[in-house]
Structure 1
C-alpha cells in the first residue's frame, strides 16, 4: 500500500469510537483517502459524530505522521491493513478483525500455520515444563507457536519454540513500544529475530486491562487451533478458547488433577467437547493435513480439479478451485478458507453442493475427496 493510502487508512482506523459497522460501510463506499477530503455534512451523512469529524480534520495528521515515522525508523517495523496482501488470511475471517496490525519482526510469520498455546500466569512447574516441551515438539513439526508474551505458560511456550529454532508469534495487549511485562523484553527481542510481535494498538499504547481480552481474539484468530495448557476456572485463557470456538478453530486441552484449581478450566473445556491432549501426537493427528501441507509446500494451482473424475462429471463439476484444495485425507475448513480466500459462509454452501454431487464428504477433521478422488 502506498504511503498516502496507508496514511488515510490509519486516520480512519484510529478515529475514536468509530464502530465496526460504520467503518466497514465507509471503506466499502469509497477509498479512505477520498473520505479525508469530504465535507462535514458528507461525513455526518455516513455516521461520523462531531467529535470524530473534529479528530479527522484537525488532529489525525499528527498522529498518522508519528506512526509512519515509527514504521520508517526500523527495518523490522511494519503496518498492515485489511487491504494488504500480507494481512493474515485466517484473521481476516473472524468477526471484527483488527483494522490495522502493527508488526515487529518477520511479516511472513503471520501467515504461517499456527497453533496458539495459552494458560495461567501462575501455572505449576509441571504446567510450565509441559508448555515448553509441547511448544518445542510442535515447532519441530513446522508449526508456528502463537501466544501472548505473558508470564507463565505464554513465556514458556514462546521459549519452547525458540529452543527448537522454530517460529513464534506474540500478540500484545499494548503497543509494541510499551512491551508488557518488562521482564520479557529479552524474550521479545528473540521472537523478533525469527517470528513476530503483533498488536492492533499504536506503538505508544500502554498496557491496559481492557486491551488483553481484545488481543486474545487475535491469538485465536491467527491460529488453526488453541491448546490450553493449564488454566483455572475463570482464567483469561478460557476467553481465548471461547473466541477459538466461535471462530471455528479447534480447541485442545491438557487434562489435570481434579484436586488442582489451576486445571479446572482445562477439565471443564474437555467436559464441554474440547479435544483431550496427552501427547503432541494428539494434536498432530487432528491437523496432520496442515502439517504435511506446510512441510511439502504443495501449490494448490498444481492440482488438477478434475483428476480422476469420470468423463460425465468433468465438465459439470462446480467450484473447481475449492475442489482442488480438498485432499485425499481430511482437509480442515480453516485451511480451505486460507487457500481459497472464499468467505466461510459461501465456502460451506459450496461444500454442501459438492457433497450432494458425491465428490467430497465431511469426516472428523474436515473434508475429503470420495473414493480417493474418484466417484
Structure 2
C-alpha cells in the first residue's frame, strides 16, 4: 500500500492530465509521487510537463482528488502507479502506458495471461455466437478474456467468461465507476465485486472515478486494452471501427492480432478481411489463438514468478526427500487450502497473510495448475 500522502500525490499527478510521458519521467526521476510533486515547477518543467499541466499541479482539483480517495476506501478498489512494482508488466512494455490505473476487483488479474476479444457494437447474430463461443474456449484454456465493456461483442465476451466461471478484465474509457453503456452497470459491478459478491475479474481505467464518457477517451482506452493483453482477437468489425484501432495498437505493441473471416456480403466482415490482408492471423477456431499465445503466456508467468521471488514448484505441496524446502508463506497457504473451495477471507484467517499478498500467490499457483478458482473460492486442483 502507498502511504496516504503518496496516494494523494499520485492522484494529483493523474488529475493533471495531458501527455503521460513527462509525468512518467518525473516519477522515474524522483522515485515516488510525493517527491515528484514536492520537486516543484522547475523540476516539472525540466521533465517536460507543459504549461497546462504545471498549472494543474500548482492548483490541483481537490474535489476530484477527494472523490478518488473516497472511491479507494471501498473494498477491492486499488490504485497502481507507474512507480509501483505491481504495475502490469505487459502494459509497462507497450507504447504510451498510462501514469496510473484505477482497478476495481482483483488487481492480480492484470498479471494473468489474457487475450482481448473485440468487435462491433452492433454485431450480427453469427458474430455474437462467435464472440461467445471463442470466449468460452479461450477461458477454458486458462486465458483471461479482456474487452471494453461496450455493447455488442464486448458484452458477449464478458458474459461468456463469467458463464464459464472464468476471470474477465474490462478496460473502460470512463472512470472505473461509470458503465458505458449504462445498461452494463450490473455487469461492471459483477466483475468488480461491487455487488457484494467476490470480484469476478477486474475493471480498469486510467481516468479518475466519476469521469463521464467522452469520445476522445475511447481510442486511448483501446491502447490500454491492447497493451494489457498478449493478443487481440477481432470477431466482427466495420472498416472504420474501434476494434480495428485496438488491433492496430496491438500490432504496434508487438502483440499478436487475430481476425475471424466472414461473408463477403457482410459489411462487418470487411474490417476483419482488411486486417488479414495487412498481416493478421486468420483464425477459424479458438485453438489457433491458444496455440499461438501459449509460449507468450509462459513468459508472462515467468514475470510473475520473478515479481513474487518464489519458485513455482514450491506450490505443489509437501516436498519429497530430495526437493527444495518450500517458501514458508507458500507452505502456509498450501496447508490452508483444501479440496473444497474456500473464500479469500477464510484463507486470510488461516494464513495471517493479507488479501493482496494471497491474491498474487494464488494467481501464480493457478497459472501453474495447482489451484482452481470457482466463484471467488479457491481449492487445490484434484
Whether TM exceeds 0.5 here: the answer is yes
CA contact (8 A) 2:23 2:49 kept: no
Q: Distance in 2 between matches of 1:235 and 1:181?
A: 17
Aligned-pair distance for 1:20? 3.0
| Higher relative contact order (CA closer than 8 Å, sequence separation 6+) | 2
Q: Does 2:8 align with 1:2?
A: no
* Separation of aligned partners in 2, 1:42 and 1:187: 43
Report the counterpart of residue 69 of structure 1 in structure 2.
70
TM-superposed deviation, 1:279: 1.0
> Does 1:273 find its partner at 2:279?
yes
Seen in structure 2, the aligned counterparts of structure 1 residues 47 and 240 have a Cα distance that, compared at 3 Å, is closer
Alignment of 1:1-375 (within 5 A): 1-17=2-18, 19-30=19-30, 31-40=32-41, 43-44=44-45, 46-48=47-49, 51-72=52-73, 74-192=74-192, 193-290=199-296
C-alpha contact (below 8 Å) 1:142/1:291 kept by paired residues: no
Contact 1:136 1:162 in 2 (8 A): no
Deviation string 1:205-239 (CA, Å, 9 cap, x unpaired) is: 00011111000011111110100001111121000
The question of whether the paired residues in 2 share the 8 Å contact of 1:9 and 1:33 is answered with yes
Change (3 A) 1:56 1:130: same
CA contact (8 A) 2:27 2:82 kept: no
Counterparts of 2:25 and 2:17, CA distance in 1: 16
Distance 1:44 1:282, change over 3 A: closer
Alignment partners' CA distance in 2, 1:114 and 1:34:
34
Distance 2:303 2:253 in 1: 25
Measure the CA separation in 1 of the matches of 2:311 and 2:41.
52
1:243 to 1:293, Cα distance in 2 relative to 1, 3 A: closer
Shift in CA distance, 44/184, structure 1 to aligned 2, threshold 3 Å: closer
Q: Given the superposition, is the C-alpha separation of residues 268 and 87 from structure 1 closer, same or farther in structure 2, using an over 3 Å criterion?
A: same
C-alpha deviation, 1:44, in angstroms: 4.6
Q: Aligned partners of 2:105 and 2:53: how far apart in 1?
A: 33
Q: 1:9 to 1:254 in 2, by over 3 A?
A: same
Q: Which has the larger radius of gyration?
A: 1
TM-score (norm. length: structure 2): 0.73
Q: CA deviation at 1:295?
A: 9.8
What is the alpha-carbon distance in structure 1 between the residues aligned to residue 294 and residue 54 of structure 2? 50
Deviations 1:97-144 (A, max 9, x none): 011111111111111010100000111000001101110111011110
Unaligned runs of 5+ in 2: 193-198, 313-382
Q: Please give the per-residue CA displacement for 1:54-96, whole angstroms capped at 9, x wherever unaligned.
A: 4323334443233122101x10211111122221110011111
Query: For residues 261 and 291 of structure 1, what CA distance do their matches in structure 2 show?
Result: 33
In 2: Cα distance, 1:295 partner to 1:87 partner: 15
1:165–1:65 CA distance, 2 compared to 1 (3 A): same
In structure 1, C-alpha distance between the alignment counterparts of 2:272 and 2:165, rounded to whole Å: 28
8 Å CA contact 2:64, 2:208 repeated in 1: no
Instruction: Give the gaps of 5 or more residues in structure 1.
Output: 304-375
Superposed CA deviations along residues 134-172 of structure 1, whole A, max 9, x for unmatched, are: 101110111100000111111001111111110100101
- Report deviation, 1:248: 0.5
Report the CA distance shift for 1:8/1:161 in structure 2 as closer, same or farther (over 3 A). same
Contact 1:142–1:295 (Cα < 8 Å) also in 2 = no
Match of 1:321 in 2: none
Q: Let me know the Cα RMSD of the aligned residues.
A: 2.6
Q: CA deviation at 1:32?
A: 3.0
Distance 1:111 1:46 in 2: 29
Give the superposition deviation at 1:29: 2.7
